[in-house]
Amino acid sequence: MLSYQHSYHAGCLADVHKHAILSVLLTALIQKDRPLSYVETHAGRGLYDLESSESHKTGEAQHGIKAIQQAGLFQETHPYMKTLLKIHNRYGKTIYGGSPAIARAILRPQDDLYLMELHPQEIKYLHRNFRDKNIHIHFRDGYEGVLAISPPKAKRGLILIDPSYEVKTEYQDCVDFIQKIHQKWPQAVIALWYPMLPSQYYDEMMKALNNLPFETVDHRSFQYAEARKDKGLFGTGMYIINPPWGVAADLDEIDSLLKEFISTQT
């Protein structure tokens, strides 16, 4: 059932889009001293070696983060680049940080991280990679687990929802989960990542979310290939509920940098 393994895809263009946005959101949230909660429904293992056989097999990082860094697309002072540098310095130059590592690199000792993961192999790596006192790792279904711990002690915070969308029903599961979690923890920033695939199930998910009465939403999508039935992923999106104040300009910058990058690749 759980066949998806992020080690084949770490550092791909979709990861760059998701992680650049995540870095901006978390950097905005730490501008206030009060403690934060960072919560993930689908954590993965947190650290990925871009020189592994899995990474070389797909070559996705080669066309993703490696090409982007080679092009010097983001300034060194950009929150995403600063975070990747911290991760390189701690683990080595070939290591790419998944979302838990990005969150840990940005957050502070007073903040708590709650990470859910259901794959028996990925959870072993996650435990091995993250042993800090303020990191709480749960081997359970991410939707059930996050609902159970919410709202956490520190009510300022962000929930990242990053499923593998292995089954079609997952698009509706995300909508159901968002409705429930927003009721339990209304002040949370919710960031939902989704893939743009030829099946276009994400379209239905967006329509359902747009019909819900959230006060503030910021929706970012990044199309990096032509949408073709015979091909797979052609883009990626992030739907953000309750975005932190003042992030729109930084998110606009990510949009335009990634567009610029794609225009140089074709």
Q: Could you list the active site residues?
A: 162
Rg (CA), the chain: 17
Longest Cα pair distance anywhere in the chain, in angstroms?
A: 49
Question: Are the beta carbons of 238 and 193 closer than 8 angstroms?
Answer: yes
Cα separation, 214 vs 106, in Å, equals 27
39 contributes a contact to ligand SAM by CB under 6 A? no
Candidates 28-36, 41-49, 181-189, 226-234 — which segment interacts with ligand SAM by CB under 6 A? 41-49
CA neighbor of 99 nearest in space, from 236, 191, 229, 218: 191
2 contributes a contact to ligand SAM by CB under 6 A? yes
182 contributes a contact to ligand SAM by CB under 6 A? no
Cα separation, 257 vs 60, in Å, equals 19
Cα separation, 20 vs 104, in Å, equals 15
Q: Which of 60, 111, 112, 117 binds ligand SAM (CB under 6 A)?
A: 117
- Give whichever of 43 and 113 is closer to ligand SAM, judged by the CB atom: 43
- Closest approach of ligand SAM to the CB of residue 44, in Å: 3
CA neighbor of 160 nearest in space, from 82, 236, 112, 100: 100
CA neighbor of 215 nearest in space, from 195, 193, 188, 235: 188
Q: How many residues bind ligand SAM (CB under 6 A)?
A: 18
- Give whichever of 34 and 57 is closer to ligand SAM, judged by the CB atom: 57
Task: Write each residue from 77 to 116 as x if it is in contact with ligand SAM (CB under 6 A), else as -, in one continuous string.
Answer: ---------------------xx----------------x
- Give whichever of 7 and 242 is closer to ligand SAM, judged by the CB atom: 7
17 contributes a contact to ligand SAM by CB under 6 A? no
Residues that bind ligand SAM (CB under 6 A): 2, 4, 6, 18, 42-44, 98-99, 116-119, 122, 141-142, 162, 164
